[in-house]
Chains A and B, each alone.
Chain A
Amino acid sequence: MAEAQVVFTPPESLSDTLMHYCPGCTHGSLHRLVAEIIDELGVRESTVGICPVGCAVYAYNYFEVDMIEAAHGRAPAVATGVKRVRDDCTVFTYQGDGDLASIGMGEIVHAAARNEAITVVFVNNGVFGMTQGQMAPTTLIGQKASTAPAGRRPEHEGFPVRVVEMLNALEGPTYLARSSMASPRWIRDTKKKLRNAFKAQTEHHGFGLVEVLSSCPTWWGMTPKEALDWMESTVVDYYPIEEFRALPEGDTEGE
């Protein structure tokens, strides 16, 4: 009898360890996608990852590659330092919306403007998760947060920031896209876009960023499935799923 065909095993670049994320949080599956791409590109032994401050602060325990824990918001600057010293390394940052779009807005804009040859995995779940559900720069209008108990009001807290569209105004970046973790279909799309963002670095020596819409069932006050459904029904209205800047010469994958 022929042996069974292995359809799925976790990637080598992902540690075989229990992750600390809340039930239904999509950080874990996103870690897996990043690790699969590192495996598939064959760059595990030359990759350096930079963790944020936020829920993914312990990501250095979850990737089987060299990892650096950065100060809040500064991951793109740390990545720049690594890349300028070791251009042969594949360097990625993994940052949440508080880290990247609030305190670290300066660093991400200028890394993109320089077309720094790094890959940025930007996790947008519209909330400061680790510090217990405060309002993020990406919190939607009307969405409640522990520091916006009545929901975000544009006249008081202003409007949510569309990071990819903003970076798309720059000449520098090589690859910019937004994706979602809302369903298996969109998870597969996220992987294709992440691969493009890594190829922006490895094949085009440029800056690649994917903004990945993610869920936070804990601070959204929803079940894991309700949270994904809300992303599909509501979040994408404000944050469209799109490849804003494709790789040069049609060297791109995605739906």
Chain B
Amino acid sequence: MSDNGDARYGEPTLVKGNEAICEGAIWGGCRYFFGYPITPQNQIPEYMSHRLPEVGGVFLQGESELASINMVYGASAAGARVMTTSSSPGISLMTEGISYLVASELPAVLVNVTRGGPGLGNIAAAQSDYNQATRMGHGDMPMIVFGPNSVQELYDHTAWAFQLADEARAPVLILADAVLGQMMEPMRPRIDDHPPAPDKPWATNGCKGREPNVVNSLYADHDDMETVNLRVRQRYAEASKRCLRWAEHQTDDAELLLVAYGTSARVCETVVTRLREAGTKAGLLRPVTLRPFASERIGELAEQARRVVVVEMNMGQMVDDVRLAVNGRCPVDFTGRTGGNIPSVEEILTAINEHSPVAG
């Protein structure tokens, strides 16, 4: 989204991923943050605790993830741009509240700086919450999910997410990981003004001059609940058309198509280079939004590919979405590491060769 020639961006500075999320949020109009400490995202609440008061905002540490997501619910209902951040087990605890946000048609921005799991797991980087992020919550609940792979994208996606959430009247999730959160990279901040927030005539902030508003997710009548679900789905579909993003690397003639997102996509860029050096026409498609998913484009590329290999930092989750997108056009293989490990270039190359070597 940013490049050297884009006048909307200022000079690059070296920024840590978790702090890029904070500055992106503040540019996006976020003035309220409620959250509970959990590694590896603690720099976010720490940063927000001093940064938000500087811009007239409020930071409050909740007593738990349950409380924090419901403070977000209240702040959003009152009309504010609000966010919370957590890491895998914490997101599990927030999941009920996120479903309530969806059903009550409330915007909010959520970040999962994913760690190794399941259970208490560890604090290393993982992508094992892909299924949780893209299929989250009880009830029919679509939710936009970003999968950034750089400090710049952490900034840009978070900044954009607030506008998108307001337009869709729905929560938006940024699915980062421990490596992205902790690493430092050059990042260009936005120097233009963020677009004005839309009016929120539905907000519950006192009924002066109008009929009382109700923010609610209880619909005892089946048809009423179905109407809400269809409306939520319709808004998600419209927002999806605007926000669907993916990136391609040497896919024009790719016979071996790698699909990876986030940190594992960074490793796969090197894998593509190594395969090309060895004479294999390899390319990489990197989903930037994980929901909506670049299914159509993956299907197109599968027409020319002889094989697709999905690389993830888990035991195979996004591979299911890729298989649906490929829809039998060619074989789809998976390789990955789990438990907080990042697959190395050599491991990926070995896996590709062991499964079935692609002729150059």
User: Are chains A and B touching in the complex at the 8 Å CB cutoff?
Assistant: yes
Which A residues lie at the B interface, using CB under 8 A?
A: 44-48, 50, 57-58, 60, 63-71, 74, 77-86, 88-89, 106-107, 109-110
A110 in contact with B74 given A47-B206, A82-B204 (CB within 8 Å): no
Partner of B204, one of A64, A66, A71: A66
A81 in contact with B71 given A67-B212, A68-B77 (CB within 8 Å): yes
* Cross-chain contact B216 with A81 (CB below 8 angstroms): no
Provide the residues of chain B in CB contact with A47, threshold 8 Å: 206
Provide the residues of chain A in CB contact with B63, threshold 8 Å: 106-107, 109-110
Provide the residues of chain B in CB contact with A107, threshold 8 Å: 63, 66-67, 70
With both chains docked as a complex, state the minimum distance between the C-beta of B102 and any C-beta of chain A, in angstroms: 12
Which B residues lie at the A interface, using CB under 8 A?
A: 32, 34, 58, 60, 62-64, 66-68, 70-80, 82, 96-97, 100, 104, 204-209, 212-218
* Cross-chain contact A68 with B214 (CB below 8 angstroms): yes
Provide the residues of chain A in CB contact with B71, threshold 8 Å: 77-78, 80-81, 84
What's the A-B contact tally at a CB cutoff of 8 Å?
133
* Cross-chain contact B66 with A77 (CB below 8 angstroms): yes
With both chains docked as a complex, state the minimum distance between the C-beta of A190 and any C-beta of chain B, in angstroms: 24
Top-10 shortest CB links A-B: A81-B74, A77-B70, A78-B74, A81-B75, A74-B70, A66-B204, A46-B206, A45-B208, A110-B63, A81-B71
Residue of B nearest to A66 (CB): B204
A68 in contact with B208 given A74-B97, A106-B67 (CB within 8 Å): no
With both chains docked as a complex, state the minimum distance between the C-beta of B138 and any C-beta of chain A, in angstroms: 11
Partner of A81, one of B66, B72, B217: B72
Partner of A48, one of B78, B104, B218: B78
Provide the residues of chain A in CB contact with B74, threshold 8 Å: 50, 68, 70, 77-83, 85
Provide the residues of chain B in CB contact with A89, threshold 8 Å: 78, 205-206
Bound state CA distance, A131 and B74, in angstroms?
26
Q: Which of B82, B205, B206 has the most CB of A within 10 A?
A: B206
Provide the residues of chain B in CB contact with A69, threshold 8 Å: 104, 214-218
Bound state CA distance, A13 and B213, in angstroms?
13
With both chains docked as a complex, state the minimum distance between the C-beta of A69 and any C-beta of chain B, in angstroms: 4
* Cross-chain contact B206 with A57 (CB below 8 angstroms): no
* Cross-chain contact B70 with A48 (CB below 8 angstroms): no
* Cross-chain contact A84 with B207 (CB below 8 angstroms): no
